[in-house]
């Protein structure tokens, strides 16, 4: 049993790191038009290593690999399909190197998502076609030495179930992060992006894809978590949508809860750091998730960096 499992079993709070992809961008790395932050593992490993170290120094108990955008079907249109093993293996190795260099007993979470290639969404595979790629990634992350697998931004029917099953099949603990959005009192599975003037065709495709797949959260979560998980919760959702998402999730899930919100907005392939919540304000909010809603795992998603994690650590102490 690792330190994270021990904390959860005792009922303690576990601090997850903050954003990986958007923080890499925030540090000057250009995002790939298809693989988003996936290419950065090859081009800017020193930035990723430094980011992991900064999160550990900020107080994170868990750091997340830069593998959110590294499924083979995402790397393929980016011209990196033949580097699938290298990209993902190196991402895990960088997290391990950061842990070893700090000497802290932190866990490494292998990030998995169902993100489609951003500039070629029309070429995204069906969930059935993508199943093999999800299993390849889950197996690689497990064999490379991840302590758990983190299924992030689960919101697309079919794909979400395939990702979670692939993660479960490795035998590692699986955390499931679901995206939520409240609309007229109904809690749905997708954060609805704000439509802005001058959006590109890729932005419109992203918006249409989200609208097509939106569904009510409780039924989606019930189906996704039927076979269990080590933890589940709401992530990659606006701060104000997190509590409605958590309360809805709690009607179908009684295990350990996680919560990590985003701040700002996405205009593919870049994150826009506008109106990002202040670190201290986010820490107060995260503390209320713990105190009032039973959350045991807190961290940050897109737009939130080491300062936010440090503030959470200080506030919870």
Q: Class of the 3-316 domain?
A: alpha beta
- At 14 the three-state DSSP class reads strand
Please list the rounded mean pLDDT of every run of 10 residues in the chain (317 residues): 85 97 98 98 98 98 98 98 98 98 96 96 92 98 98 95 98 97 83 40 48 75 95 96 96 97 95 97 98 98 98 96
Cα-based distances in Å from 101 to 5, 94, 189, 276: 22, 10, 39, 31
pLDDT at 284: 98
Q: Phi/psi of residue 107, each to 5°? A: -95, 155
The conformational region for residue 150 under phi > 0 = left, psi -120 to 50 = alpha, else beta, is beta
- At 301 the three-state DSSP class reads coil
pLDDT at 251: 95
Residues 88, 42 contacting (CB under 8 angstroms)? no
CA gap 158, 242 in Å, rounded: 23
Rounded to 5°, angle at Cα 298 from 24 and 185: 100
Give the list of residues 6+ apart from residue 114 with CB closer than 8 angstroms, or none.
71, 127, 130, 134, 153, 154, 156, 159, 160, 162, 163
pTM: 0.92
Residue 246 corresponds to which tokens in the numbers above? 């958590």
CA gap 299, 18 in Å, rounded: 6
Q: Phi/psi of residue 113, each to 5°? A: -145, 175
User: Where are the domains positioned within the chain?
Assistant: 3-316
Sheet containing strand 148-154, edge to edge, reads: 14-15, 295-298, 257-262, 231-238, 174-178, 148-154, 107-112, 62-64
Residues 16, 62 contacting (CB under 8 angstroms)? yes
Using CA of residue 246, residue 232, residue 163, residue 50, what is the dihedral sign?
positive
Cα-based distances in Å from 183 to 95, 170, 244, 287: 38, 36, 10, 25
pLDDT at 228: 95
Residues 215, 157 contacting (CB under 8 angstroms)? yes
Q: Phi/psi of residue 193, each to 5°? A: -70, 150
Buried b (16+ CB within 10 A) or exposed e, 118-134: bbbbeebbebeebbebb
Q: Phi/psi of residue 211, each to 5°? A: -65, -40
Which DSSP helix (H) or strand (E) runs through 213? helix 201-213
């Amino acid at each position: 049993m690792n330190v994270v499992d021990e904390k959860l079993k005792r009922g303690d709070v576990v601090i997850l790191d903050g954003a990986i992809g958007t923080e890499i961008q925030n540090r000057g790395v250009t995002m790939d038009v298809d693989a988003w932050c996936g290419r950065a593992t090859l081009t800017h490993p020193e930035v990723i290593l430094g980011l992991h170290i900064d999160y550990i120094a900020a107080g994170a108990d868990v750091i997340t690999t830069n593998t959110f955008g590294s499924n083979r079907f995402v790397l393929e249109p980016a011209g990196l399909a033949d580097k699938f093993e290298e990209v993902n293996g190196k991402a895990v190795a960088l997290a391990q190197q950061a842990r070893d260099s700090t000497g802290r007993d932190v866990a490494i979470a292998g990030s998995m998502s169902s993100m489609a290639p951003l500039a070629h969404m029309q070429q995204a595979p069906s969930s059935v076609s993508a199943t093999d790629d999800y299993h390849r990634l889950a197996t690689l992350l497990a064999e490379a030495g991840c302590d758990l697998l983190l299924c992030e931004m689960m919101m697309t029917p079919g794909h979400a179930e395939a990702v979670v099953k692939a993660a479960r099949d490795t035998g590692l603990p699986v955390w499931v992060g679901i995206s939520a959005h409240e609309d007229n009192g109904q809690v749905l599975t997708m954060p609805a992006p704000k439509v802005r003037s001058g959006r590109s065709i890729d932005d419109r495709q992203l918006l249409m894809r989200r609208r097509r797949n939106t569904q009510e959260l409780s039924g989606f979560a019930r189906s996704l978590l039927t076979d269990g998980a080590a933890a589940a919760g709401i992530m990659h959702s606006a701060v104000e949508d997190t509590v409605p998402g958590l309360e809805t999730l709690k009607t179908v899930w009684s295990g350990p809860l996680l919560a990590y919100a985003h701040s700002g907005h996405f205009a593919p392939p870049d994150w826009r750091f506008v109106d990002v919540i202040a670190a201290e304000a986010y820490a107060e909010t995260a503390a209320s998730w713990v105190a009032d809603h039973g959350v045991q795992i807190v961290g940050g998603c897109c737009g939130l960096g080491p300062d936010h994690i440090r503030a959470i650590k200080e506030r919870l102490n």
